[in-house]
């Protein structure tokens, strides 16, 4: 092998690169010269047989050949690529509309659940979980519902054939948690609930709640109000007001219903708040001693508050949704706007 052989091969290779008119031909040139069994690797193998005095010089030349080949090859490939796009090659029509890939978005209910978890997390609450299918004991008995309580009625509650039921609130998670953990307890439990309600603008047979439970020494109604007010301010803005109205629940004493001032009309009255300026968001109260007894807590040393907030209610005033059913129609055009 002589130095001329290298020079000849170089000239030939560069001419062929220059002459390649499309990427297929150019690729063939690449394989021919620097593919695994190409002419340049071949030449390198041939170096071994060259005259030892010429060998260093030849080695240098072959390396140069390889580098020059790579350089010219890339140049030519870029030329071919850009001329293809400029001339509107058949394989790529720049006038076609792009492929639209819809970006996903969280459902308003998921968004609010996650937001609520974050807010309560910052107050030291952890998330507890329970199943949608519950026992009568967890859903009613342990929560102090007397045998004839109307909520137990089959016209209000979905019973399964084995006697279990679809939980009517997230409160059974309180029971499950307290049976397994001793105080202090500070949990929230977000989840689905089921009631035999006829769907209308503000009712759905399947809705979502966030349960809260805080049991320790000296927990008071003031803690409840402070924590719910903090939640309202974080979730809906610092101007949101919170009010308690006396109420009754079998498992809390005293019990309250919690209203937030309407986010839409700022309390003036509108369609969403039915002109009252307030929206009922939660049921709450101090845990009834009867519940502590059912789960084996010492009523002499601990007190606790509990609340159950309706997520849909919050979504309605936060986003100005006038019909709860719109949340479940799964019309992406509608849901996308929140």
Task: Catalog residues that contact ligand PHE under the rule CB under 6 A.
Answer: 169, 171, 249, 252, 283-285, 306-308
Q: What whole-number distance in Å separates Cα of residue 216 and Cα of residue 123?
A: 14
**238 or 246: whose CB is closer to ligand PHE?**
246
Shortest Cβ distance from residue 140 to ligand PHE (Å)?
Answer: 11
C-alpha count within 13 angstroms, C-beta hemisphere, residue 130: 30
**6 or 287: whose CB is closer to ligand PHE?**
287
Q: What whole-number distance in Å separates Cα of residue 66 and Cα of residue 30?
A: 11
DSSP string, 61-101: HHHHHHHHHHHHHHHHHHHHHHHHHHTT-TT--TTSPPPP-
Q: For 124, left (φ over 0), alpha (ψ -120 to 50), or beta?
A: left
**190 or 308: whose CB is closer to ligand PHE?**
308
Shortest Cβ distance from residue 204 to ligand PHE (Å)?
Answer: 14
Q: What whole-number distance in Å separates Cα of residue 220 and Cα of residue 144?
A: 20
Q: Could you tell me how far CA 269 lies from the centroid of its own chain? A: 34
**68 or 135: whose CB is closer to ligand PHE?**
135
Shortest Cβ distance from residue 211 to ligand PHE (Å)?
Answer: 6
Shortest Cβ distance from residue 154 to ligand PHE (Å)?
Answer: 18
Q: What whole-number distance in Å separates Cα of residue 176 and Cα of residue 174?
A: 6
Rg from Cα positions in the chain: 37
**284 or 315: whose CB is closer to ligand PHE?**
284
- Number of other residues whose CB lies within 10 A of the CB of residue 275: 11
Task: Answer whether 123's CB lies under 8 Å from 227's CB.
Answer: yes
Shortest Cβ distance from residue 283 to ligand PHE (Å)?
Answer: 3
Shortest Cβ distance from residue 249 to ligand PHE (Å)?
Answer: 4
**120 or 307: whose CB is closer to ligand PHE?**
307
Shortest Cβ distance from residue 170 to ligand PHE (Å)?
Answer: 7
**113 or 306: whose CB is closer to ligand PHE?**
306
Q: What whole-number distance in Å separates Cα of residue 326 and Cα of residue 146?
A: 36
């Amino acid at each position: 092998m002589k130095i001329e052989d290298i020079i000849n091969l170089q000239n030939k290779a560069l001419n062929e690169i220059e002459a390649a008119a499309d990427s297929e031909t150019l690729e063939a040139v690449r394989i021919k010269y620097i593919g695994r069994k190409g002419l340049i690797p071949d030449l390198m193998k041939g170096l071994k047989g060259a005259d030892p005095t010429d060998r260093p010089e030849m080695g240098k030349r072959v390396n140069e050949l390889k580098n020059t080949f790579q350089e010219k090859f890339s140049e030519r490939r870029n030329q071919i690529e850009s001329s293809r796009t400029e001339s509107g090659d058949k394989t790529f029509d720049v006038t076609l509309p792009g492929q639209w890939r819809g970006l996903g978005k969280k459902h308003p209910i998921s968004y609010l659940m996650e937001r609520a978890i974050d807010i309560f997390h910052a107050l030291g609450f952890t998330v507890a979980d329970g199943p949608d299918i519950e026992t009568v004991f967890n859903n009613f008995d342990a929560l102090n519902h007397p045998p004839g309580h109307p909520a137990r009625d089959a016209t209000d509650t979905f019973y399964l054939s084995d006697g279990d039921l679809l939980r009517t609130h997230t409160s059974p998670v309180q029971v499950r948690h307290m049976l397994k953990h001793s105080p202090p307890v500070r949990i929230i439990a977000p989840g689905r609930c089921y009631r035999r309600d006829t769907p209308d603008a503000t009712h759905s047979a399947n809705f979502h709640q966030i349960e809260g439970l805080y049991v320790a020494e000296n927990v008071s109604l003031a803690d409840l109000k402070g924590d719910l007010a903090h939640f309202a301010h974080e979730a809906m803005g610092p101007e949101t007001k919170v009010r308690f109205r006396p109420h009754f629940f079998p498992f809390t004493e005293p019990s309250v219903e919690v209203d937030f001032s309407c986010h839409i009309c700022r309390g003036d009255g509108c369609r969403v708040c039915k002109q009252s300026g307030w929206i009922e968001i939660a049921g709450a109260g101090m845990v009834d001693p009867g519940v502590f007894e059912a789960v084996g807590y010492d009523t002499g040393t601990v007190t606790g508050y509990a609340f159950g907030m309706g997520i849909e209610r919050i979504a309605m005033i936060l986003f100005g949704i006038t019909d709860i059913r719109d949340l479940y129609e799964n019309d992406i055009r509608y849901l996308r706007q929140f």
